[in-house]
Structure 1
Amino acid sequence: MKKLYIETLGCAMNVRDSEHIIAELTQKEDFEVTQKIDEADLILINTCSVREKPVHKLFSEIGYFNKVKKEGAKIGVCGCTASHLGEEIIKKAPYVNFVLGARNVSKIRDVLKKNKAVEVDINHDESTYAFSDFRSSPYKALINISIGCDKKCTFCIVPATRGEEISIPPELIVQEARRAAQNGAKEIFLLGQNVNNYGRRFSDKDRKIDFTDLLKMVSEIEEVKRIRFTSPHPLHMDDKFLQEFASNPKICKSMHMPLQSGSTKILRAMKRGYSKEWFLDRAMKLRQMVPDVHISTDVIVGFPGESDEDFADTIDVVEKVKFEQIFSFKYSPRPHTPAKEYPDQVPDEIASKRLQYLQNLHLQMLDAISQKEQGKVYEVYFEELKPNGYVSGRTDNNWIVKVKGSEELLGKFVDVKITKPGRLALEGEVVG
């Protein structure tokens, strides 16, 4: 057996792409996965290009791979950075054997057999391709429901790396979810750039189905106990969608709502398609319909043209919604994006101060939020062993909970009483 080493950077969709690659190579070629780079016959790095830092990391990583790899081992670069840099990667790092874009995962076996292959077609349609099956975890299953993105957010490189949005046929999604659940994965995690825009475009143009309909179909699978998804777009959070989220007991009560900015002026410059008022209306309706819901978000500070007043609007939304989790970043100019050429770029020192203020404010909020969890009892689905004799899992509303225990808890739903609150994770003890 040949050995495959794969490093994955970026989002859950990249993780799923890596699982597809592993499945194709271990089940259709004679590879097995290794954690040791120096024994691998094939070394892959699956890249992210949403921010500048992972792109820089790519070249330092493949340079390191080239130094430690055994003689004759191949190096391949996959993912979003592969899509937008293409041949440039091989020019800059001639020891790379092939480049495989994020929209071309199904071609992994082909590029492996060609030297210096570059497959980065962002219009390639693999929405109906039946990948072989591989899961990083036996307890939960990541499932792509769409490929690409039709939004034109002015800061985002994704449309240039993953192409136009196309939905995967619902019967393929349900079939994959059923197979995963029957193999022990009680939690299904649906993935898409804008999951609640599902159904906008299929290879079969006559199909009519939306994301809410898909949620109902997946929830009808008896073995599926929990459904999560990411990332929904605030623009598509209509009442039908929110009602299904609130009323369907299998849908986990945590929602990722990417805000990006609280300023309607900046949202317009970002081409997000909604206003501050719309976002607040949807978030507050969600809080009203599902009192114990956890809402997470993404925030970009220092977008071109962001004034102190615009940043104050972002802080106002944060204080009103009281997000349980915030992924916050300074604006990072990306190639192939209109915002890169915008005037009024915000100086780095101002953006840094704003980011620090936002993050400090949110830490204070988290302390208050987590303290209220003391003494509560949650049903936790355990999925991961941790150091020092702990096992961790998640509540329905996405708190990470760890308890003293062993692998016998893995894959089980267990009632846990919270004994030690924390900002992002809770500690507890098994009850009952």
Structure 2
Amino acid sequence: MRLLLLLASIALTTGWKMPLSPHSLKCPPLYSTKQPKTAKPSFPTLRGTTVNARKIVDSRSAKAYRVRHILLQTEQLAEELLSNFRGGEMLFTEVAMQMSDCELTKEKGGEIGWVDFASASNSEHALDDLLPKNVREALVPGQGMDAKTGDILKIKSSRGVHLIQLCDIMVDVRERGKKRFRAEENKWRTAVDPSNSGKQLHYSIESMGCQMNSLDSERIAGQLESMNILPLDDEDEKKADVVVLNTCSIRDHAEQKVYSYIGPHAKRKRDGESVSIIVAGCVAEQEGEQLLRRCPEVDLVMGPQYANRIADLLEDVGNGNQVVATAPEYIVEDITKPKRDSTTCAWVNIIYGCNERCAFCIVPSTRGVEQSRTAESIIKECEELVKDGYKEITLLGQNIDAYGRDLSPKRKFSDLLNMIGSIEGLERVRFVTSHPRYMSDRVIDAVANNPSVCDSFHIPFQSGNDKVLREMGRGHTVAKYLRIVNSIREKVPDASITADVIVGFPGETEEEFLDTLKLMETVKFDSVNTAAYSPRPNTPAAEWTNQLDEETKSDRLQRINRLNLQHAGERRARMVGRTEKILVEGRNVKKPNQVYGRTGHGYIVYFDGMIEELLGAIVDVKILESSTYSLTGEMLDSL
């Protein structure tokens, strides 16, 4: 309905008439080869440097774009559509089916397929009837169209005016990885060596850190299983042929944990076992080749941006190379499905990377520049998950409110949230993590107005003192944060609000710490992830001379934890006596006759029931008791 109203508005503005049949629009030829100007924002990737997000791929490794198009009669209509794509709840595929003048692609939502850069200039090309030569050439990186995946471009050709959506990019990641060939006399055996082709290989994955890492591990597992490497049934990891450590560098001593974990598997390899050792994730990106120097038994070091391309990199490992893949890279859409850990709830990444530069945080240096996925690819993934029986989806982003600002035209997270929330059959939608610098009333409105979007917000505040926030480089004040909280309390009164906080930041005084406790008393969070500051490599705060001693940091952490526990208990106690809808996610491992699920607020609820009957069901549960971080209830539904 929204799309039809929008098309009617465009028709009034431009004089365009909706065709009665696919053949009723005829496009006058336009021969202009002048390309439209495209905005060229620069985003930081490493501190002290900037890089254009549309040029992070080496042209030698980029091979092709997968594209869709809408063919139009006039530039005026093309400009009107571009304007309406900007921040609106419009899907390119839907508009293509309604408005495109291309008879060959209209019914397929404008889908064209892959445009190979190497053959783009060929005078006789398989796509000539769809995309004339000048359009294909304009898509080649470095040819004038400063673009990236997700962008919508306007290009004239002999067929008319094309709106081209860059849906995906094909990248040869093997050209991006640094290779070090092992001399035969020093070569330890790797399980993915072609000589092992007759043996059934098994993998194990140890995942550390945030939800992003959990999803990356699912993607790695999906890739390995596409190679017919199966999960290890035995709990003894020393029996795994392919060992993956998916690392997190957010806390101190992360590197030491990595080397400690690798040690036993490195010994297996030195003792002559055929085993492949892979270090993935943020520590891998941070340490790079240093990991191989300190632990030469490792076969593959790869950053988070390569999680869904591990199969390509292992091909080089099988050819006798040690590989380090940490170069900046465009995120490519998954070519295999992730191996989901749950059959009920799923993670869906909507934006990768982070452009913020908090003085304490290493994440932007390890996860790279912001890259938003197209709304079409996100919604397609969500619809497929619903078709597969998933009831709840959590949208992921380091800074989820930044979704779409790197695209051209720009998009808004609130619009995407509304679109996903309206998917038929999807019961629950959650999202993390919001940044108070960018959190908007539009997002709060989307939660308030959409029944399937859970009344739950995760908004880190990190400190309750403006001076500390400035030194952290957070870009917001305490007053701004409280305005967001007040807006949530006004529009979604019963919503849960969770957060992250750091105590003991360099130079933090006792009075400044007390301001943080004051903010917590004002808000009364449902729970807060607390941490004492720990210096991280390549971050400004790590070099400052006003570091606090460990005793002071430990004391403040204990005090804030006590307050956090108090508030968490108070917030859950208000649920006693209520009847809540609970999505059953699993069995209570401590009481096998109980199951657990979560309220819309995110509170865990335990109640009697058989998991074989209830898994994935949404049931009414009356809350009988509360504790600090969980609730106990009684199921009222009879299935």
TM-score if structure 2 supplies the norm length?
A: 0.65
Hey, what's the Cα distance between the residues in 2 that align with 1:282 and 1:183? 36
Of the three residues 58, 66, 71, the one matched with 2:258 is 58
In structure 2, the residue matched to 1:90 is: 292
- Determine if contact 2:250/2:363 at 8 Å carries over to the other structure: yes
Q: Does 1:144 align with 2:349?
A: yes
Counterpart position of 1:175: 380
Residue of structure 2 in register with 1:37 after alignment: 237
Shift of 1:351: 1.2
**Which residue of structure 2 lines up, in the alignment, with residue 200 of structure 1?**
405
Match of 2:597 among 375, 379, 393: 393
* Residue matched to 2:44: none
Question: C-alpha separation between the residues in 2 aligned to 1:40 and 1:309?
Answer: 52
Task: Give deviations 1:344-394, integer Å, cap 9, x for gaps.
Answer: 111111111111111112222233333222221110000111222221110
Partner Cα distance (2:535, 2:329) in 1: 27
Specify the alignment match of 2:214 in structure 1: 15
**2:597, 2:487 → 1: CA distance?**
28
Match of 2:508 in 1: 306
Q: How does 1:114-263 map to 2 (within 5 A)?
A: 114=317, 115-121=321-327, 123-202=328-407, 206-263=408-465
What letter is aligned with 1:398? G
Question: Which segment is superposed worse, 39-48 or 69-78?
Answer: 69-78
Q: How does 1:325-344 map to 2 (within 5 A)?
A: 325-344=527-546
Deviations 1:199-239 (A, max 9, x none): 0113xxx3331100111111121021110011011111122
Q: May I ask how many residue pairs the two structures share in their alignment?
A: 427
The answer as to whether partners of 1:154 and 1:271 remain within 8 angstroms in 2 is yes
Please say which of residues 415-424 and 110-119 is displaced more in the overlay. 110-119
Instruction: Quote the offset at 1:311 in angstroms.
Output: 0.7
Deviation for aligned residue 1:110: 2.4
Deviations 1:3-53, CA, capped at 9 Å, x for gaps: 0111100000001111111111112x1111114413211000000001114
CA distance in 2, matches of 1:91, 1:254: 45
Structure 2 residue matching 1:103: 3-state secondary structure: helix
The TM-score with structure 1 as length reference comes to 0.96
Shift of 1:68: 5.8
CA distance in 2, matches of 1:71, 1:64: 12
> Match for residue 349 of structure 1?
551
Is contact 1:80–1:102 with CA below 8 Å preserved after alignment? yes
Relative distance call for 1:127 and 1:286 in structure 2 (3 A) is farther
Kept after mapping to 1: 8 A contact 2:566/2:628: no
Contact 1:284-1:321 at 8 Å conserved across structures: no
Q: What CA distance in whole angstroms lies between the structure 2 residues aligned with 1:365 and 1:238?
A: 26
- For 2:528 and 2:253, how far apart are their aligned partners in 1? 19
Letter in 2 for 1:364: Q
**Cα distance in 2, alignment partners of residues 336 and 4 from structure 1:** 33
Which residue does the alignment assign to 1:107?
A: 309
**Higher mean C-alpha deviation, range 250-259 or range 239-248:** 239-248
Q: Who is 2:67 aligned against?
A: none
How far apart in 2 are the matches of 1:264 and 1:127? Answer: 39
Q: Aligned AA for 2:439?
A: M
Secondary structure at the residue paired with 2:480? helix
Shift of residue 67, structure 1, vs aligned partner:
4.3
- Please, which of 387, 403, 417 is the counterpart of residue 607 of structure 2? 403
Contact 2:360 2:536 in 1 (8 A): yes
**Counterpart position of 2:280:** 78
Q: Which amino acid aligns with 1:143?
A: V
- Mapped partners of 1:278, 1:358: distance in 2: 22
In structure 1, how many angstroms separate the alpha carbons of the residues matched to 2:284 and 2:323?
Answer: 12
Give 1:131 deviation, angstroms. 4.0
Could you tell me which of 212, 223, 232 is aligned with 1:24? 223
Equivalent in 234, 247, 264 of residue 47 of structure 1 = 247
Q: Distance in 2 between matches of 1:328 and 1:56?
A: 22
Aligned partner of residue 437 in structure 2, secondary structure: helix
Q: 2:268 and 2:493 mapped to 1: Cα distance? A: 53
User: Gaps (5+ residues) in structure 2?
Assistant: 1-199
Q: Aligned to 1:189, what secondary structure does the other structure show?
A: strand
Distance (Å, rounded) in 2 between the aligned partners of 1:290 and 1:414: 23
What letter is aligned with 1:30? N
C-alpha contact 2:569 2:629 (8 A) present in aligned 1: no
Q: Which moved more, 1:385-394 or 1:66-75?
A: 66-75
Which whole-Å CA distance do the structure 2 matches of 1:306 and 1:38 have between them?
45
Q: Secondary structure at the match of 1:104?
A: helix
Structure 2: distance between partners of 1:362 and 1:192: 25
Identity %: 39
Greater C-alpha Rg? 2
1:2 to 170, 191, 201: 201
- 1:380 counterpart residue number: 582
8 Å Cα contact 2:500/2:530 also seen in 1 = yes
Aligned equivalents of 1:16, 1:365: Cα separation in 2: 30
The CA deviation string for residues 170-227 of structure 1, in whole angstroms up to 9 with x for no partner, is 111001000011101110110010011100113xxx3331100111111121021110
CA contact (8 A) 1:9 1:54 kept: no
Q: Which amino acid aligns with 1:223?
A: G
Q: Would you identify which runs of 4 or more consecutive aligned residues in structure 1 move more than 4 Å? A: 67-70
Instruction: Give the partner amino acid of 1:218.
Output: I
Rounded Cα–Cα distance in structure 2 between residues aligned with 1:253 and 1:68: 49
Is the 1:5–1:36 Cα contact (8 Å) retained in structure 2? Answer: no
Q: Secondary structure of 1:332's match?
A: coil
Amino acid at match of 2:539: T
Equivalent-residue separation in structure 1 for 2:217 and 2:441 (angstroms)? 35
The alignment's C-alpha RMSD in Å is 1.4
Task: After TM superposition, give the deviation of residue 413 of structure 1 in Å.
Answer: 0.4
Distance in 2, Cα, partners of 1:10 & 1:286: 28
1:324-356 CA deviation, whole Å, 9 max, x = no partner? 111000001000101111231111111111111
